[in-house]
């Protein structure tokens, strides 16, 4: 079976897990939690990070520490439900914003929504390893006093070529631009800890608060378990963080392979691939495309008959039964993407021959 994006260990993970066992820190604290957080800080050049049990809990903490409750939160309608559920955990109302030609939140629609609705925060998902056109969105948020939370669950390692500083190119990673960013280490992501997430921010106080809330909001100055507010049990285990440390050692290798796979697909298929925004480097976590004339659901079935996994593009949020009647600013783009598009196998162990075979099945469908 060829899976969509299976885990790919570096070979170091078991050694680190063994070390974690030997230390007996089989708990949500320990050397590897610290090392994993440090590896994210060093790689993304962010000030502070806290490892949590998944990106969904990270996004929940982001809203909590920013005090976004009983409010309106704008979010792209072309994303995974994990971007949206945390909005509901704090009794907020999601306002869905359709996407632009890069498949990410459309800034003009966002501007319209901000004029009409009292939006307190924006959750901006960067999808399929690529990034949104964040500069105008950031500007709009700053101008209107709105918090920007980056759902970088799918885009760890993607960056913006931000400009030239001191005659050197300044690179800024997705997740480190808004008030808070969140990465996922779920089983199908670029890197995995089986399940896991990391919340990052350049505001150390926000991360400190998120860490406090993620460990049951236990008041640090008391030994006798004193609690003044509601907390959560969202911290990452030291065992899983040990896997994360091993994974972070090969991040650039994995991105290079993902991008190579994307180029193979481009070589073999004459279809419309997800575009890459100018002056950015996406990771091509998943190779995604829309077909000019083919039915993606038929292709998915044909691939499945050949033991090859593929997936539809995101089913737009405004079409979900859960969000019947929710406010949405639409342009038809996300519905079109869902109807015409497909995610192709993108595992980093794929060979060029396998990609060729996959493409031949697609072409003959």
Residues that bind ligand PLP (CB under 6 A): 54-56, 79-80, 82-83, 125, 127, 151, 153-154, 184, 186, 197
Looking at the Cβ atoms of 181 and 296, the one nearer to ligand PLP is 181
Mind spelling out the 3-state secondary structure of 33-75?
HHHHHHHHHHHHCCCEEEEECCHHHHHHHHHHHHCCCCCEEEE
Using an 8 Å Cβ cutoff, are 329 and 97 in contact? yes
Shortest distance in whole angstroms from residue 41 CB to ligand PLP: 19
C-beta closer to ligand PLP: residue 241 or 362: 241
Q: Contacts from 10-14 at CB under 8 Å and sequence distance 24+?
A: 10/246, 10/247, 10/249, 10/250, 11/246, 12/245, 12/246, 12/249, 13/242, 13/243, 13/245, 13/246, 13/247
Query: Smallest distance from the beta carbon of 277 to ligand PLP, in angstroms?
Result: 17
- The residue of the chain with the least Cβ separation from ligand PLP equals 82
**Cα-Cα-Cα-Cα dihedral sign, residues 198, 202, 206, 207:** positive
Minimum distance from CB of 101 to ligand PLP (Å)?
Answer: 19
In the bound state with ligand PLP, the residue whose beta carbon lies nearer, of 86 and 269, is: 86
How far is Cα 16 from Cα 22, in angstroms, rounded to an integer?
10
**What is the closest distance, in whole angstroms, from the C-beta atom of residue 18 to ligand PLP in the complex?**
25
Report, in Å, the least distance between residue 183 CB and ligand PLP. 8
Q: How far is the CB of 305 from ligand PLP (least distance, A)?
A: 27
Only one residue has tokens 């680190």, namely: 16
What's the min distance (Å) between Cβ of 293 and ligand PLP?
Answer: 29
Give the residue with the Cβ less far from ligand PLP, 82 or 181. Answer: 82
For residue 251, what are its two tokens? Answer: 């991040």
What token pair was written down for 241? 């963080």
Q: Which residue lies nearer to ligand PLP by CB, 54 or 130? A: 54
Closest CB to ligand PLP among 83 and 346?
83
Q: Which is nearer to ligand PLP, 78 or 212 (CB)?
A: 78
Specify the DSSP class assigned to residue 222. Answer: -
Q: Which residues are bridge partners to 49 per DSSP?
A: 200
Q: How many CB atoms lie within 10 A of CB 179?
A: 18
Least distance (Å) from ligand PLP to the CB of residue 81? 8
Q: In the chain, which residue ranges form alpha helices assigned H by DSSP?
A: 13-23, 31-44, 55-66, 85-89, 107-116, 134-143, 204-214, 238-248, 251-268, 296-305, 333-340, 352-363
Q: Which CB atom, from 125 or from 244, has the smaller least distance to ligand PLP?
A: 125
| CA-closest candidate to residue 246, choices 86, 60, 18, 84 | 18
Residues present in the chain in total? 365
CB 87 within 8 Å of CB 123: yes
């Amino acid at each position: 079976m060829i899976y969509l994006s299976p885990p790919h260990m570096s070979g170091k993970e078991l050694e680190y897990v063994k070390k974690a066992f030997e230390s007996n820190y089989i708990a949500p604290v320990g050397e590897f939690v610290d090392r994993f957080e440090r590896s994210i800080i060093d790689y993304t050049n962010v000030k502070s990070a806290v490892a949590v049990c998944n990106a969904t809990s990270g996004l929940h903490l982001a809203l909590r520490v920013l005090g976004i409750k009983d409010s309106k939160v704008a979010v792209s309608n072309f994303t995974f439900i994990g971007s949206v559920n945390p909005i509901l955990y704090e009794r907020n109302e999601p306002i869905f914003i359709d996407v632009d030609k890069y498949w990410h939140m459309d800034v003009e629609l966002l501007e319209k929504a901000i004029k009409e609705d009292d939006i307190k925060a924006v959750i901006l998902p960067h999808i399929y390893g690529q990034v949104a056109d964040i500069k105008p969105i950031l500007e709009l948020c700053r101008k209107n006093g709105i918090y920007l939370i980056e759902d970088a669950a799918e885009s760890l390692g993607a960056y913006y070529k931000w400009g030239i500083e001191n005659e050197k190119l300044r690179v800024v990673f997705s997740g480190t631009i808004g008030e808070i960013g969140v990465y996922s280490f779920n089983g199908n992501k670029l890197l995995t800890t089986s399940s896991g997430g990391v919340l990052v921010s350049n505001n150390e106080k926000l991360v400190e608060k998120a860490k406090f809330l993620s460990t049951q909001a236990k008041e640090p100055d008391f030994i006798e378990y004193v609690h003044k507010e509601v907390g959560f049990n969202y911290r990452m285990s030291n065992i899983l963080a040990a896997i994360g440390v091993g994974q972070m050692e090969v991040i650039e290798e994995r991105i290079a392979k993902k991008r190579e796979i994307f180029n193979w697909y481009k070589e073999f298929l004459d279809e419309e691939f997800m575009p890459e925004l100018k002056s950015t480097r996406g990771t091509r976590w998943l190779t995604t495309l829309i077909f000019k004339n083919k039915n993606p659901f038929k292709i998915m079935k044909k691939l499945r008959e050949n033991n090859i996994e593929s997936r539809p593009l995101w089913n737009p949020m405004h079409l979900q039964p859960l969000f019947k009647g929710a406010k949405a600013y639409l342009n038809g783009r996300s519905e079109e993407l869902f109807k015409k598009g497909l995610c192709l196998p993108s595992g980093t162990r794929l060979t060029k021959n396998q990609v060729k075979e996959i493409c031949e099945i697609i072409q003959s469908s």
